[in-house]
Structure 1
């Protein structure tokens, strides 16, 4: 090699190393088996995930298509600010409904700020963007393709947040597409759950919105229209996990793993893209060994919008079934809710999938809710959905043919990027 070729090779290697350092993530490693139950560990759980446990909140669960009327009504009642952050936004009826509500709010003098992930909002439509901007809505994309985002294109904003007047907030899995609004040709209407919060926890959710807004819009909020004083309005304790520090595991991943470690009786997970890594599998294994009843619900290959993820996740079914985890595949449509419950006492709800992309790459949010009532509603939803599931049994699973096994292995090779 010539001197020039050597210099170019070394420069390329250095550039690749720098990009890797910029985008790499730290794994969450948690080996402890704490003695206390989750109710006795709420402050520690919040603190370990860069949050603060806040009392005095009220929580309402909003399911399936009821999300859109609830959101439109809430936007219509807002008096000062509307802050919306979402991943997926596509043209259609749902888009028109939400756009109409945002335009109307802006025209009556509210500060309306909207942030959409650049990739997830690529089918938002030029007309929708023009309507919003013409009405005075501040609209920004998160991580659009540009030289300034070199090395960060793969980091997506997967959160779904709506904050109104800094006093009320929605957090969950619903996206702004017609698949969540009404039945489609291939699937029935997607099933999902979003929680509406009032009380002091709304300030933490607003802070999560403000974090990405500051990056995308270069703006910070220093007004009481955005961060008003928040009085108690209920009796529920809650905390937010959303921080993803450099060179440290994301708080959402840590929250999932520590909550599982604290379980003493039951773990119920409903997630559309269930693809735990070796540490997640080990955490579930230890839970089963403690006598915890662990049950997972996720879509089957005929009811998912991503067969790649489903087959990648099926690759580790054998391990999970062998350690005593029960797996139920939902058969009707895409089961999109991202919720999990612990011991009938605590629930996590938010935007995060149970996979490496959500835990280690995307920007996500999960709200921890210490409420037997809310947890009971989610556990009952799990039971109701079992009627539409097929439980995977270990013996029959091991008798499947070579073709699905091959698909599972091939899809699993790139599981971190799904």
Structure 2
């Protein structure tokens, strides 16, 4: 064998070995990260309001009584959040997925920087991928003011096994005494009132009462994971007296080998609904077992409705097309589907039987349920459920309800895109 032939064979062998090692590494990472999805069959004749301890326990939380909830819609959320940051006296913790340079980014940077300069402990945790477009000036301003600014899962060899895992939570905790949870991001499209075709619609809540400790715990989980820093004391976990009569439980944990808490929560309540399930979610791609569970709910007489943006209203039409792939099955199951064409409806909301609500950062898709770090609140209160259903009813007249016969007749190109993009639904 000539030297060149020997060298060529060696190179081919080395390439094959490297490819084999890469495949093996991928299988190892997959086997570590995989979990068993819950079976969506639950035997219970009790109403959901009687099962809150069970639902909270299954989703690795506790039902906490004595809370108050204020619903904040669209750009008004940031008016309230920034005002409350300005009133902080000890600590400010803020965590989000998206932060882009702009008017809103500067407002947030100003508010956080001012509190840090006043001597408060200000901790800011941003997802490294979602917030890669944060303004350099905004970042420098906060760091120079004394804010502790960290990025979740930066691109690094040390994070190679978790690079696909993103911090999708949106939360804030002020002095350990009030918290904010929802879907709002620090991007200019979240300003305004979602009526000009450019600004987005969204919902978040302001919380007071003992549930704030649970939100603080969610923040500390990822903060500790990124920095190693633990924090204790009355400035972060003060004694909290009741502020109202609302029971809340928080789902955010991701145990090894078991389905994440947000997935268990959303799937469990589908099985428990007795009257209606109303969903508002921007990225609705339910798994086959969830679709079957929706169908079983309809057979029980449950009114199941889902509202989402259309491709023209979405910030990511690929996701809407991936969701379209299962519309026919959903419609045949009796699920009513509504698409809003005017702007992005970004709220992540589910109400059950007019008494219980889920609200938080979780999309109804594989990425949120299986991969991302999320937080969703389960709120037992007919008043809050009524407010959320009223938001559904506000947007419904401007939606297009999808009808089965017309949907089956959509064009071949539309169908092709639906099936193509669905292949990638777990990473969209």
The answer, yes or no, to whether TM exceeds 0.5 is yes
Conserved in 2, the CA contact under 8 Å of 1:269 and 1:339?
yes
Match of 1:345 in 2: 355
Match of 2:83 in 1: 73
Match of 2:215 in 1: 205
Q: Does residue 180 of the first structure (1) align with residue 200 of the second (2)?
A: no
Q: Does residue 165 of the first structure (1) align with residue 175 of the second (2)?
A: yes
Distance in 1, matches of 2:339 and 2:330, equals: 14
Cα deviation code 1:56-103 (max 9, x no counterpart): 000000000101110111001111100000000000000011111001
Show the 5 A alignment for 1:2-401.
11-182=21-192, 187-401=197-411
Cα deviation code 1:169-205 (max 9, x no counterpart): 0000000000001489993310000011000000001
- Of 390, 414, 417, the residue aligned with 2:424 is 414
Cα deviation code 1:282-333 (max 9, x no counterpart): 1111111111000000001100000000000011000000010000001221
Distance in 2, matches of 1:380 and 1:407, equals: 33
**CA RMSD across the alignment:** 1.7
Conserved in 1, the CA contact under 8 Å of 2:194 and 2:343?
no
Number of equivalenced pairs: 418
Conserved in 2, the CA contact under 8 Å of 1:25 and 1:361?
no
* 1:331–1:289 CA distance, 2 compared to 1 (3 A): same
Q: 1:11: Cα distance to partner? A: 3.9
Task: Give the TM-score taking structure 1 as reference length.
Answer: 0.97
Conserved in 1, the CA contact under 8 Å of 2:193 and 2:201?
no
Q: Secondary structure at the match of 2:426?
A: helix
Cα deviation code 1:17-70 (max 9, x no counterpart): 222223334323232242111001000000010000010000000000101110
Conserved in 2, the CA contact under 8 Å of 1:90 and 1:121?
yes
* 1:127–1:398 CA distance, 2 compared to 1 (3 A): same
Q: Secondary structure at the match of 1:344?
A: coil
Distance in 2, matches of 1:68 and 1:10, equals: 50
Q: Secondary structure at the match of 1:415?
A: coil
Distance in 1, matches of 2:223 and 2:22, equals: 33
Q: 1:403: Cα distance to partner? A: 1.0
Consecutive unaligned residues of structure 2, counting only runs of 5 or more, are: 1-8
Distance in 1, matches of 2:396 and 2:270, equals: 22
Distance in 1, matches of 2:286 and 2:207, equals: 29
Q: Secondary structure at the match of 1:274?
A: coil
Consecutive unaligned residues of structure 1, counting only runs of 5 or more, are: none
Match of 2:6 in 1: none
* 1:391–1:7 CA distance, 2 compared to 1 (3 A): closer
Cα deviation code 1:258-288 (max 9, x no counterpart): 1111100010000000000112111111111
